[in-house]
Every structure is written in structure tokens, then in C-alpha cells.
Amino acid sequence: MDTKDAPTSGTPSDVGVTTATPPKATIKNVDMSEEMQQESIEIAIKAMEQFQIEKDIAAHCKREFDKKYGPTWHVVVGKNFGSYVTHETKHFIYFYVGPLALLIWKS
């Protein structure tokens, strides 16, 4: 089956994370092991340090999750969105790092 990346946002955002103060992650909803939760947060923070555009942060997180945990992962990054997704059991997390929300799930 062929797949195609479909970014939904290309606007720069002031989401850069400085290393001077470690950003705090706030988990809002989760169905995932503690270890995978920590990995999710670490991957997100590294992506936010490396990229400024939300779709680039999402793409980096997706690539890392697909590589580490196998396909198929989905990632939404932004400041204002609603969602309703179906996910594999133990493969879902919704959290904030600073003002930026990340929704990561596997299907």
C-alpha cells in the first residue's frame, strides 16, 4: 500500500525550546506504558529543540516512533485543535510541552 505524507500546517511557530530551563510536560490523557510516555516526552522535546515549524516537529516525532515501535504512528502538533481518534490499546498519549499540544497514537 502506498502512503503519502499530508502536512496540514506550514506556518512557523514560536515553539523552540531552550535547554537553559527544561520544559515541563503535562499529560492530559494517556493509554501507554510509563516507559513509552517518557520516551514520547523526550522525543517531543528534542523535536522542539531542533524544529520551529509544527509540521516538522510532528514529522520528526512520527519518524522516531515508526522507527522505534514499528508503524503506523500518527502525530498532531499545535495550539488549538480538536480530535477524536481510534488507537491501538496502550499506544496513545496527549500532552503539552509549554503551550504546544502533542497527540500521538498508533493505529
- Which residues does the chain have with pLDDT short of 70? 1-20
pLDDT at 19: 52
* Domain-embedded: residue 102: yes
* Domain-embedded: residue 2: no
- Is the backbone peptide bond immediately before 72 cis, with ω within 30 degrees of 0? yes
The domain in which residue 100 lies consists of 25-106
Note whether 35 and 105 are within 8 A (CB). no
Q: What is the CATH number for 101?
A: 3.30.740.10
How many domains in the chain?
Answer: 1
